[in-house]
Amino acid sequence: MEWSLRLLACLVGILPIGSFVRTKRDTTGNLLNTEVHSAPAQRWSMHVPAEVSAAAGEAAVLPCTFTHPHRHYDGPLTAIWRAGEAYAGPQVFRCAAARGSELCQTALSLHGRFRLLGNPRRNDLSLRVERLALADDGRYFCRVEFAGDVHDRYESRHGIRLRVTAAPRIVNLSVLPGPAHSFRALCTAEGEPPPVLDWSGPALGNGSAAVPGPGQGQGHGHQVTAELPALVHDGRYTCTASNSLGRAEASVYLFRFHGASGASSLALPLGALGLKALLLLGVMAARAVARRRPEHPVAQDTPPRPQAQESNYENLSQMSPRDPPAATCLP
């Protein structure tokens, strides 16, 4: 008994951490043999950061590494990335590696903007996303699948939050008719953080607060809409969108024309056209003035062309008797 205890102590001293010893004895209690079993050194796990941030138009890298319970695995494997929801979200990237190969052949890359940076054979599923847009903002989940047992696959549960930032951009500026020949204006902008919208114009001053647009509330995703309820005075009305990354603005000009047929209005949005639109408006006004001028007849320099007289047979039959008779040729 003392000898067996010394043997076990020696074995425990040289075994790696996580191993255990199982002994078998006969009915008399004598030691028959000793079996050494090694517990798996690792288990399934995913390691991802909580959040990655990048600007719209640039590229972002989503890091993802994993561990598995196999000491060595060179069989077929598949790497997958999902968006929105773990296990059920739509796939944005998928690649597969054959047995013994370190090349993971791409089978799916949404819009061609997703590319695998890591090597799944080395437990790395890191992904690169090109040409970021605000629509890419959201949560992403990495997954690896080994061929064989259904348990040989694993996916991150919480995923990575990809935050896409962008300076403001005005996507729509419209003018709509209102009651009693009035107008109202709507301005929609997008950005991240969501921009703040302000209206300025005649009798409004600068930095006037905007009213949230109908049905839009304060924002819709990365977009915000604000309404200017009434455009009362002629002139320029400007919508300004701003956040911590910048600002953008767009304007609309309101003009009212008073003619003989009554009053009419023209609302002209100005963005990239700028002064060209104003010049065009001036030409249109000049033409309208020219049309109101009275027309004067123009004297002809050349005499009028003579016109052939029509024959009047009635006059021939009513000739005076004093007129000489017409000559007649007899046979």
What is the per-residue pLDDT for 320? 41
User: Mean pLDDT for the chain?
Assistant: 74
The answer to whether 260 touches 208, Cβ cutoff 8 Å, is no
pLDDT tens for 120-131 read 999 999 999 999
pLDDT tens for 148-204 read 776 689 999 999 999 999 999 999 999 888 777 778 899 999 999 999 999 988 877
What is the per-residue pLDDT for 201? 87
286 versus 176: which is more confidently predicted?
176
pLDDT surpasses 50 at 304: no
Confidence of residue 291 (pLDDT cuts 50, 70, 90): low
Mean pLDDT of 115-144: 96
CATH superfamily of 166-254: Immunoglobulins (2.60.40.10)
202 versus 297: which is more confidently predicted?
202
Report the Cα 175 to chain-centroid distance in Å.
Answer: 23
pLDDT surpasses 80 at 296: no
Q: With helix as H, strand as E and coil as C, how does the chain read? A: CHHHHHHHHHHHHHCCCCEEEEEEECCCCCEEEEEEEECCCCCCEEECCCEEEEECCCCEEECCEEECCCCCCCCCEEEEEEECCCCCCCEEEEEEECCCCCCCEEEEEHHHCEEECCCHHHCECCEEECCCCHHHCEEEEEEEEECCCCCCEEECCCCEEEEEEEEEEEEEEEEEECHHHCEEEEEEEEEECCCEEEEEECCCEEEEECEECCCCCCCECCEEEEEECCCCCCEEEEEEEEECCEEEEEEEEEEEEEECCEEEEEEEEECCCCHHHHHHHHHHHHHHHHHHCCCCCCCCCCCCCCCCCCCCHHHHHCCCCCCCCCCCCCC
pLDDT surpasses 80 at 80: yes
pLDDT surpasses 70 at 94: yes
What is the per-residue pLDDT for 103? 94
pLDDT tens for 31-60 read 334 333 344 457 889 999 999 999 999 999
Within 8 A by CB and 6+ apart from 236, the residues are 201, 202, 251, 252, 253, 270
d(CA 82, CA 141) in angstroms, rounded, equals: 5
Do 45-158 and 166-254 agree at the fold level? yes
CATH superfamily of 45-158: Immunoglobulins (2.60.40.10)
pLDDT tens for 251-264 read 988 876 655 554 45
Percentage of the chain lying above the pLDDT 90 cut: 45
Percentage of the chain lying above the pLDDT 70 cut: 59
pLDDT surpasses 90 at 135: yes
pLDDT surpasses 50 at 11: no
What is the per-residue pLDDT for 239? 94
Domain range list for the chain: 45-158, 166-254
What is the per-residue pLDDT for 42? 74
Tell me the whole-structure pTM to 2 decimals.
Answer: 0.64
What is the per-residue pLDDT for 316? 32
